[in-house]
Amino acid sequence: MTMPMKTVPGVDAEGFVARDALCHTATESSDEEFLAAFRTPALVMNMTEDTSPSARSVASEKERSQKRTIVVDLAAEAQRPVPRSRYHQRIAFLTKRAGNPFPHMISLGRSMNNDVVLLVDTVSKFQGYFITKNGLWSFTDQHSANGTLLNGKLLEKGTRYDLADGDRLRLGTAVEAQFVMPATLLKQLRGA
């Protein structure tokens, strides 16, 4: 079962918490208090919106206004560093937003009706989703335009991939995130 977002302290409308705020909470709380408040895995965002000329020039303005997803060659872009901006150093907990359908999955994408919202042109409206079964987490790319990499390997669209603590996801070309379990997040926030 997934934890409703309202039970996670400090989450904004897009499903994120600022890393600085969580660092403060981690240092002011005992291990037990922190782990009781933050019970689900998180995505620690490392990079965000790609403002490079190559990404902007892939689609014409007309195509962007109609489709809103910029399609690029993910394999070619995977090696290029992504500039920091909007989501850098923010953390999204894998929780359901109130009123969202599909209670068995935590959706991620550009559309505001996702559980985790990434307002980045190279992320699809519905990029993919997370599910948990018997304490194990997995991610499925939901036929996104720019694909998803898991630890540098392109995911086959529509196929479920098991996640391990510390795995890295690249969503489209402009968002990188690390999947971390609550105890690992606590250690990272405390600098251990």
Sorted by where each starts, the structural domains of the chain and their CATH numbers stand as 12-189 (2.60.200.20)
Tell me the C-alpha distance between 104 and 13, whole Å.
21
pTM over 0.85: no
Per-residue pLDDT of the chain (192 residues; tens, 9 = 90+): 444 444 566 777 777 888 888 998 999 999 999 999 889 999 999 854 444 433 333 333 434 444 455 555 555 555 555 444 578 889 999 988 877 777 889 999 999 889 999 988 899 999 999 999 998 999 999 999 999 999 999 999 999 999 999 999 999 888 899 999 999 999 999 985
**Closest to 81 (Cα-Cα) out of 118, 58, 47:** 47
Whole-number Cα distances in Å, 154 to 8, 31, 72, 150, 172: 31, 36, 14, 6, 10
